[in-house]
A = this chain, B = another copy of it.
Amino acid sequence: MNEMASIIGDGQMALVLADALAVRGVPARIWSPFSRDATSLQITRRSPRLPEMELPRNTEVTDQDGLAFDGCTIIFSAIPTQHLRSVWRRLRPHVRADVCLVSVTKGIEIGTNLRPSEVIEDVLAGESNGVSDGSRRNASQRIVVLSGPTIASELARRLPASLVAASNHLQCAERVQELLRVPWLRVYRNDDVLGVEIAGATKNVIALAAGMIDGLEAGSNAKSALLARGLAEIARLGCAMGAKLDTFFGVAGVGDLATTCFSPEGRNRTCGERLARGESLENILASSTSVVEGVPTAKAVVQLARAHGIDMPIAQAVHAILFEGLSPEKAIHGLMSRELKVESVG
């Protein structure tokens, strides 16, 4: 393949993407926002965020903004949601208008309530920087959202996984499929960018609640009921915003939700479990090497639900636990004892 990939970010997803690209023979460059992390990764070829993985030999590492996109034909954006805008503002002057942009971030930006792909578009379209506005305005057509059940430690061991490449730009989605065509990955195409991003963001909020069920030792019946009710409220929000119901049945919908709720390694699930066992949110976040996306996303999701007039009792309970001092025990009890009624998505 005549491709060269830039990976923006040095977290878990950046590392496992570099591994898959290396196996496909695609040169990749990881850009880190932090000089010290870039140097350490460059020299040791290992990251404390995914210690079991060694960086492929042909993966470059840089912290130089001007080198981030040098020669690249495709960009993978793997930056935590709340830092996305500042990073892309910083890198914007160096982006060529004709590259495909692949976003793997799962969250909603606080304040704007924008999805990751919208934040990137917003930054690229917002300010002139020597490139014609016309090509900037087309950014959304070149964006692919890549999502699915992808616990990174499993990908580092090359265990099988499925993803969805969602885009309005068929050719970019097909290029992502081709770039990641390694034996352990299966990438489906989907044109519901909105639905895939809403599913990816909100599942982390539900996973916080799932972790609380684990912390309270309430069992897998309760967790599975929560998963079903959580999926219903995710779909309710997504469909109100214009997403397709089918998306929430897919690997990036219920698939990602299931792995996030049940894998012992999920960060959001683990955070919820520790909260229910009595640890403070501050302590948990301070001890985590990676961002727990569900925490800021809970704020944005509750705002989105309000804006769209959607009832999201689980997300609202998680928000109340995180930011309003409600006890997980009381919250779970409250969810279980809501008035008996006919269950429905609508």
Using CB atoms and an 8 Å cutoff, list the residues of chain A in contact with chain B.
148-151, 154-155, 157, 159-162, 164, 177, 181, 186-190, 218-225, 227-229, 231-232, 235, 245-246, 248-251, 253-256, 258-259, 261-263, 332, 336-338, 340-346
Contact = CB atoms under 8 A, between A and B. Distances in A.
Contacts of A259: 220-221, 223-224
A255 B224 contact: yes
Given A188-B342, A227-B255, A220 B154 contact: yes
A340 B186 contact: yes
Given A249-B232, A343-B190, A343-B250, A149 B258 contact: no
21 contacts: A149-B224, A149-B225, A151-B219, A159-B218, A159-B221, A160-B219, A161-B221, A161-B225, A162-B336, A186-B340, A188-B340, A188-B343, A220-B258, A220-B262, A225-B255, A227-B255, A227-B258, A231-B249, A232-B250, A249-B249, A249-B345
Contacts of A255: 224-225, 227-229
A20 B231 CA distance: 28
Nearest to A222: B160
Interface centre among A148, A220, A235 (most CB of B within 10 A): A220
Contact of A219 (B159, B189, B336, B343): B159
Given A160-B218, A221-B155, A221-B259, A336 B228 contact: no
A188 B342 CA distance: 6
Nearest to A244: B344
B253 A162 contact: no
A262 B261 CA distance: 10
B154 A225 contact: no
A52 B100 CA distance: 58
Interface centre among A181, A245, A246, A249 (most CB of B within 10 A): A249
A227 B160 CA distance: 14
B154 A221 contact: yes
Contact of A251 (B181, B219, B224): B224
B262 A340 contact: no
Contacts of A250: 228, 232, 343-344
Contacts of A340: 177, 181, 186-189
Given A177-B340, A254-B228, A254-B254, A159 B222 contact: yes
A336 B254 contact: no
A157 B217 CA distance: 11
B177 A246 contact: no
A172 to B, nearest CB: 15
A160 B159 CA distance: 33
Interface centre among A160, A235, A261, A341 (most CB of B within 10 A): A160
Contacts of A219: 151, 154, 157, 159-161
Contacts of A232: 249-250
